[in-house]
Structure 1
């Protein structure tokens, strides 16, 4: 199949396909969703689906990419800055992101978790690269950005998955202290 020309604007048909897919993921496992299921839910024909996406994996990528970027934008209010407050907001964005799918079928969520993590890490790294642009050298950025992004993601994911008894604000504060480098204040709950 040839390369599709990417139309970045959201058409009503594309939104119908996305809505149908999200509804289906709430009802059944991702692996069991077919193109026919999606097109029936969106009330469009198969050719219309393929005019927008190559397959259900591309549709999933589209939804996840848009969602990860949007949740970071919302939490940081579009401000790209490396400070404790924005680190807290990034962790909270990850919490929001992993709650967002609102998938009742837990197996479906678990099968999507690797894609969700990959896309969120990519968006976190992009944000951190921009926020550290005038603070660190290129070699330092390449070292720290990946570490920071993984700490931020893991903190938010642990909260969203129910693996911690801390509330999400406390998780975000502790992760920001870890990144800020003042480890003595983490257990005491002090702020910089």
Structure 2
């Protein structure tokens, strides 16, 4: 093989790695900037200019990563929902009481985490929280029920179970129930699997 072609190939691969790393760092700095700003002011009052100044990037760079600030919060919330579920279930997907309890605890963690990070904006982003966590719960439940129910049964049960699990965690996160998260998880799992 031509030695120059080998060198050009290596340089090209290194350049791609640096570009990916830069892309990841910039995206993370924008997300971090949003989280900082969300603890200081309401979501509606956060502007793209605020985000770019805090992240020390220009507007074009922001728009290379996100369509708008709603797209940014969407990414933050989606990543958070998925990571909470993965962390709680350790990616073991088996439809049983323990699995359901871990899903409720993940929703509680999700609300607690985002409530802590986005103090001022928590209530205004609550509808997005629900949407993203329901999507993540439905994926997990669909996997766990694959060998138990037919597809038409899953189409019925998955959204119902996801709604129950989400609502339990939401009630806990908004301090509307007197149970601690463990008690809540146990009681909620028994609603779905009473035996």
- Structure 1: which 5+ runs fail to align? 1-6, 183-191
TM-score by length of 2: 0.86
Answer yes or no: is 1:104 the counterpart of 2:119: yes
The 1-side partners of 2:20 and 2:108 are apart by 27
Q: Which range moves more in the overlay, 162-171 or 8-17?
A: 8-17
2:183 and 2:137 map into 1 onto residues whose CA distance is: 20
CA deviations over 1:114-168 (Å, ceiling 9, x no partner)? 0000000000001000100010011111111011000000111111111111110
- Counterpart check, 1:40 vs 2:53: yes
Total equivalences in the alignment: 174
Measured in 1, the distance between the counterparts of 2:110 and 2:91 equals 16
Q: Does 1:24 align with 2:23?
A: no
Structure 2 stretches of 5 or more lacking a match?
Answer: 1-18
The structure with the largest helix share of the pair is 2
SS in 1 for 2:148: coil
Compute the displacement of 1:104 (Å). 2.4
- Runs of 4+ off more than 2 Å: 7-10
Find the counterpart in structure 1 of residue 88 from structure 2. 75
The CA distance in 1 between the partners of 2:156 and 2:119, in whole Å, is 38
> CA offsets, 1:4-41, max 9 Å, x none?
xxx99861111100000010010111011100000000
Alignment partner of 1:11 out of 21, 24, 38:
24
TM-score of the two chains, using structure 1 as the length reference: 0.87
Equivalence map 1:48-67=2 (5 Å): 48-67=61-80
2-structure distance, mates of 1:124, 1:153: 8
